Chain A
Amino acid sequence: MISKRIEQLGGVFLLPVAIAALAFVLIGAPASWVTLTIAGLSMGMMIFLMASGLSLVFGLMDVLNFGHSAFVSFGAFIAASVLTWSAGWLTSDSIALNVLALMLAIMAAISFGLLAGWFFEVVIIKPVYHDHLRQILITMGALIISEQLILAIWGGTPLSVPRPEFLEGAVIWGDVSIEIYRVFAFLVGAVIYAGLYFLFKRTRIGLLIRAGVENREMVEALGYRINRLFLGVFVLGSALAALGGTMWAGYETLISPALGSEMMIVVFIVVIIGGLGSIEGTLLGALIVGLMGNYVGYLAPKLALASNMLIMMAILMWRPSGLKPAVK
């Protein structure tokens, strides 16, 4: 009876709400809780951007791509370079020039994601379809090579990322301080989620992707080439990862070549928590990881890293396929 009522109220989607409510009690200071919650939601949305493509690629073609986070780090470094190059526009009083510089950085990162994603799928992934061991080896290798490439191009010193002037600072509301960039990152993630939701639920391509995640063979028996669909999803996922890297670079303001490896762990945790092949699941997993990271970082900083692993273990014991996996 209680579980039915919980299901009616939103089921597993109540989990981030429950975590936030518990954190409210444990933190005790409402102003700090609001700041941490907004930071957590913002971080969650950026992680969602990075992880959504991986989840779909995993769900649709059963391909384990450990190189996915290379798109995140390259997106971050390319965007940082464009922002540095257009520093004059970023510090200008003109919001139009600020926005233009930001858009250039985002477009450069996304364009890289699209092109590199296409190349990566055709050259690296395609030859190892249906072979998990080779997928792991070759994509891990690609991740290492990408890190070395970043070292060769940008050097080993952490790179400072300038932010547009209009996204600097914070809004003070009583005791609550809300960083403008965090709100912006949250909104970008929310808009992308809405776009993906529309794509999946309201378009024929989305219908095909959802069907392909469930049963690739049957989609082909209905007359569709699943490999072409997969290439499209892979390229889209790579571009989203590059966009996520861009947003993350602005959030951190200092990035190092190890960014890809660091984010790979978080992204895989999110995909496993959320369930494979599901956009809703990925969003849910990303928000949980984002919120937990901030709350635990405040309450017990030494446990911050372990908290995501612990929540992943707890969720997998409760739901072995993740919170909201695609139907298989």
Chain B
Amino acid sequence: MSLLSLTNMQTQIGEYHVLHDVSFDVSEGGVFVLLGRNGAGKTTTLRSIMNMWTPSKGSVKFRGKDISQMHTSDIARMGVAFVPEDMGIFGGLTVEENLVLATASGSFDPQRLERILELFPALKIFWNKQAMKLSGGQKQMLSVARAIIEPRDLILIDEPTKGLAPAIISGMRDAFAEIAQNTTILLVEQNLPFALSLGRDMAVIDDGHVVHTGSMKAFAEDNELQNTLLGLA
């Protein structure tokens, strides 16, 4: 059984019909990458899974249970974390407070926290500083750290490399590779090399329709398919 299964999901935002037919299955473990041009519906897909925008038709099944009409907070409590494109950091709170809010009990698992701070050492340095004072890359680290501060079954990450320096992207790739050993990541990404280096399975979305699904390896080797679906050479 798939960890996450979208079947004919449709989403309307106001008068705009953004997602027309989104279907794909995410199996457990590794990184599933959702690719597509700007405005294709990638972010809407992630937000629809979290029911931040309620799907108007179709189903979203997580571990076999339909979550398409569940409250966002209930979906989160089922073990789904979300790292939005704008990172969703609480700027007025400290780094520590941002992480505390993501724990169910209000306290950290010391070993887990230690490993996260090894992955993202900047967070240790700015532990008691307001998150608004962090750089873009550090905010992204905090956003990802918040998603993994407790064990999750699925992490939805929306364009984590956007606007980041190459050195930070490289560190982020290593961190994601390690995180994906213990959980499943559904990654929306426009940075193709980053996506190719991490993805196991993938889907391409265009104009609100899923137009391709398959393995990332096969997609990486097929330049013509990349060019057709993403407009790349």
Contact = CB atoms under 8 A, between A and B. Distances in A.
Interface of A: 204, 207-208, 210-211, 214-215, 217-226, 326-327
Q: Identify the interface centre among A207, A215, A217, A223: most chain B CB within 10 Å of its CB.
A: A223
A292 to B, nearest CB: 28
A218 B92 contact: no
B101 A225 contact: no
A222 B195 CA distance: 26
B101 A220 contact: no
A204 B107 CA distance: 11
B91 interface: yes
B90 A221 contact: no
A207 B97 contact: yes
Contact of A221 (B72, B130, B132): B72
A222 to B, nearest CB: 5
Interface stretch (B5-13, B76-84, B173-181): B76-84
A223 B92 contact: no
A215 B88 contact: yes
Given A218-B84, A218-B88, 8 more contacts: A217-B52, A217-B72, A220-B71, A220-B72, A221-B52, A221-B88, A222-B73, A222-B146
Contacts of B52: 217, 220-221
Given A207-B100, A327-B132, A221 B93 contact: no
B50 interface: yes
A312 B101 CA distance: 35
8 contacts: A204-B100, A211-B93, A218-B90, A219-B101, A220-B72, A220-B73, A221-B76, A225-B73
B73 to A, nearest CB: 5
Contacts of A219: 101
Interface in B85-104: 88, 90-93, 97, 100-102, 104
A222 B102 contact: yes
B76 A223 contact: yes
Q: Identify the interface centre among B50, B92, B130: most chain A CB within 10 Å of its CB.
A: B92
A207 B76 contact: no
Contacts of B100: 204, 207
A214 B92 contact: yes
A204 B101 CA distance: 8
Contacts of A217: 52, 72, 88
A225 B130 CA distance: 24
B106 interface: yes
A215 B90 contact: yes
A101 B91 CA distance: 46
Interface in B37-55: 50, 52
Contacts of B102: 222
B62 to A, nearest CB: 14
B93 A225 contact: no
Contacts of A223: 73, 76-77, 104
Given A211-B101, A223-B77, A204 B90 contact: no
Given A214-B90, A218-B88, A207 B101 contact: yes
A208 B100 CA distance: 10
